[in-house]
Amino acid sequence: MKQPLTGRFIPGDSPVHALDARAKLICLILLLAAVVSAGTVYGYGLILAVISVILLVAELPLHLAVGPAWRMWPFLSVIFIMNALFFTATDPLWSWWIFHISLAGVQQGIHVVTNVALIMIISNALTLTTAPLEITKALASLIKPLRLIGIPTDDVAMIISVAIRFVPTLLEEADMIKKAQIARGARFESKRLTEKAKSYLPLIVPIFIAAFRRADELALAMEARGYHGAGRRTPQRPAPLRLPDYAALMVCMTVSILQLALLR
């Protein structure tokens, strides 16, 4: 794997793709609040409707949109069983030793599993329709208040691109040192675990030292070119939110308020 990391983003030209990443992030938070506060069948119906509309408008293939949640099924079934068996001992339908299956427990299990699956599907829709760099910028602008407690939020976007670039470099470095050690008689291919582990140890320290030398060289080069913490960096093309962004925000706001109303 010598290529840089690639994300899960699928390019497209649907209205969902075109929305501003900041608006999409806030929408995500609003919709997640709606999921967490959903308590009735109608509430879940509303959320399912919203999700289907998003997936349809964004033209996302179903296996990509639902896949990550679906792949968690072993985990989700454990959660369901734990909730169903241990939730409450009163009014059991069936009980044996410390296990009690009650209607309330089964309902609780369904509730929890649905919540987890819905959270995964909604946030997955964001990462599928938004380019990683756009989400980075949006996150950087949303976490600006953290500056007050001393976190260098302006550097975040810059440093993420540096980190992404480091991954293939590290793997290349590891490969080179591995070959150098093989030339000196190291036995990485050995079947015996202790021998294999022993041959890896002299590999790790040189990798670190080489990586740190690279990082410090990069820091020196950046400083020499005038980078000293992004400071108050202004965007090259200021992009205020547009009408569709506000519309999407309004819709999501309405959904979460409706959700609270349905709870009553």
Partner 1 sequence: MSEQPTTGEMTTRLQHVRGIVRAALFAALMGSGGILALQVPISTVPFTLQTMFVIMAGLFLGPRYAPFSVVIYLTMGAIGLPVFSKGGAGIGILLGPTGGYLIGFIVTAWLVGVLGALVRVVTAKQSGLRLVGYILAAVMGLSLGTYLLGTLRLAALLQIGFLEAALVGVVPFLAAELLKVLLAAGLIVSLERRGLYPNNE
Q: Which residues form the interface with partner 1 (CB under 8 A)?
A: 1, 5-9, 28, 32, 68-69, 75, 78-79, 82-83, 86-87, 108, 112, 115-116, 119-124, 126-128, 132, 135-136, 139, 151-152, 155-156, 159-160, 162-164, 166-167, 170-171, 174, 193, 197, 200, 204-205, 208-209, 211-212, 214-216, 218-220, 222-223, 227-229
With contact defined as beta carbons under 8 Å apart, do 126 and 46 qualify?
Answer: no
Q: How far is the CB of 216 from partner 1 (least distance, A)?
A: 6
DSSP H or E stretch at residue 238: none
Query: Nearer Cβ to partner 1, position 201 or 261?
Result: 201
CB-wise, 148 or 261, nearer to partner 1? 148
- State which residue, 38 or 135, has the beta carbon closest to partner 1: 135
Query: E strands within the chain?
Result: 92-96, 99-102
**Which residue, 162, 155, 174, is CA-closest to 218?**
162
Q: Which long-range contacts (CB under 8 A, 24 or more apart) does 200-204 make?
A: 203/174, 203/177, 203/178
CB 31, min distance to partner 1, A:
11
Least distance CB 89 / partner 1 (angstroms): 14
Yes or no: say if 54 and 34 are a contact pair by the CB < 8 Å rule.
Answer: no
